[in-house]
């Protein structure tokens, strides 16, 4: 069956992508996964300069998932353009470059360099602590998000996805701000803020104190976010993520109103999870031709 999906005018061969930060540059997994069999490879967040990330320990287990405060460690945009992106394109991958920054100038510097690159789409991660927004995530402030998008949108013709944080009262508010100021699509959700305590010391396990919770436990939160935003913004393409480790869970996101999905934390313990989910979802869509037809036409079930 044809499982192609259309998002922001771009056709993907299937609706399953990797989640940024869980699949590295993509090439690390190329010996396990045929990259051109995925809808897209969403690469690890890239900044204008190399970021060392947060101090260790920065990963902890939680019930139904994991807690991490990696801090978007990455080698910077110049290395990405010279090494990672060319190798991914040579391997036949459709590449979505995830963009990170600590202020509007950081984001702009990355987008400027990606504007004429071989990246197919950009995913703007607005969950980073933003120094120009008082240290809070720009994605929690619709005014700051609108200002950022006003800065970035004129810089490139590449389709631009905004990745939303769930750490807000009403996710439809930043979603609307992103769309009204130039986002071609939305992805949701990023990780939930959480922490663990070492009961022997009484101190947080993570050196950064708090981190992002991901994995199966966040599935209901991600589904609710997609459902709410789809209801509020019926026309915008949505990529759902959070807790997907099977074709069945991916299908839940499609029924909630997503056009496609990203497989994140599951790839950290099973490198072939994104491809497995794609195959399982393909089998499920075989018996749901009406849903597959809607996705191919750029529509959703809802």
For the chain, how many residues are written? 302
Q: What average pLDDT does the structure give for the chain?
A: 94
Residue 1: its pLDDT value, please? 66
Sign of torsion, CA 241 147 129 100? positive
Q: Has residue 61 got a pLDDT over 70? A: yes
Residues 6+ apart with CB under 8 A from 127: 137, 139, 163, 164, 165, 167, 190, 191
Q: Is residue 37 annotated as a catalytic residue, yes or no?
A: no
pLDDT tens-digit series, residues 226-284: 999 999 999 999 999 999 999 999 999 999 999 999 999 999 989 999 999 999 999 99
Which tokens hold the place of 110?
A: 């990355």
For residue 129, pLDDT beyond 80: no
Please report the pLDDT score of residue 130 as a whole number.
59
Q: Phi and psi dihedrals of 162, rounded to 5?
A: -105, 125
Active-site pick, 35, 95, 124, 128: 128
Q: Which tokens sit at 81?
A: 């353009």
Select the more confidently predicted residue: 151 or 296: 151
pLDDT, tens digit (0-9, with 9 covering 90-100), for 84-115: 999 999 999 999 999 999 999 999 999 999 99
Q: Cα–Cα–Cα angle for 212, 72, 260, nearest 5°?
A: 70
What's this model's pTM, rounded to 2 decimal places?
A: 0.96
Task: Scan for tokens 């869970």, then name that residue.
Answer: 249
């Amino acid at each position: 069956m044809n499982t192609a999906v259309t998002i922001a005018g771009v056709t993907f061969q299937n609706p399953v992508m990797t989640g940024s930060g869980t699949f590295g540059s993509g090439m690390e997994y190329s010996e396990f996964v045929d990259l051109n069999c995925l809808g897209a490879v969403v690469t690890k967040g890239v900044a204008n300069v190399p970021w060392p990330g947060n101090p260790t320990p920065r990963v902890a287990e939680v019930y139904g998932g994991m807690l991490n405060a990696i801090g978007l460690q990455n080698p910077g945009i110049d290395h990405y353009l010279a090494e990672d992106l060319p190798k991914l394109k040579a391997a036949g991958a459709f590449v979505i470059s995830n963009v990170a920054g600590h202020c509007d100038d950081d984001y702009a510097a990355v987008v400027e360099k990606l504007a004429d690159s071989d990246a197919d789409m950009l995913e703007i991660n607005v969950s980073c602590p933003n120094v120009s927004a008082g240290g809070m995530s720009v994605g929690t402030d619709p005014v700051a998000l609108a200002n950022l998008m006003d800065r970035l949108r004129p810089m490139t013709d590449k389709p631009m996805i905004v990745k939303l944080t769930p750490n807000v009262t009403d996710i439809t508010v930043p979603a609307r701000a992103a769309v009204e100021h130039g986002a071609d699509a939305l992805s949701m959700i990023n990780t939930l803020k959480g922490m663990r305590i070492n009961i022997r010391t009484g101190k947080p396990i993570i050196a950064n104190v708090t981190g992002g919770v991901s994995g199966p436990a966040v599935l209901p939160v991600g589904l609710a976010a997609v459902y709410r935003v789809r209801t509020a913004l019926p026309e915008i393409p949505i990529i759902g993520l959070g807790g997907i480790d099977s074709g069945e869970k991916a299908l839940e996101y499609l029924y909630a109103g997503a056009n496609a999905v990203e497989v994140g934390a599951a790839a950290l313990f099973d490198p072939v999870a994104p491809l497995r989910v794609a195959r399982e979802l393909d089998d499920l869509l075989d018996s749901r031709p009406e849903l597959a037809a809607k996705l191919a036409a750029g529509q959703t079930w809802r």
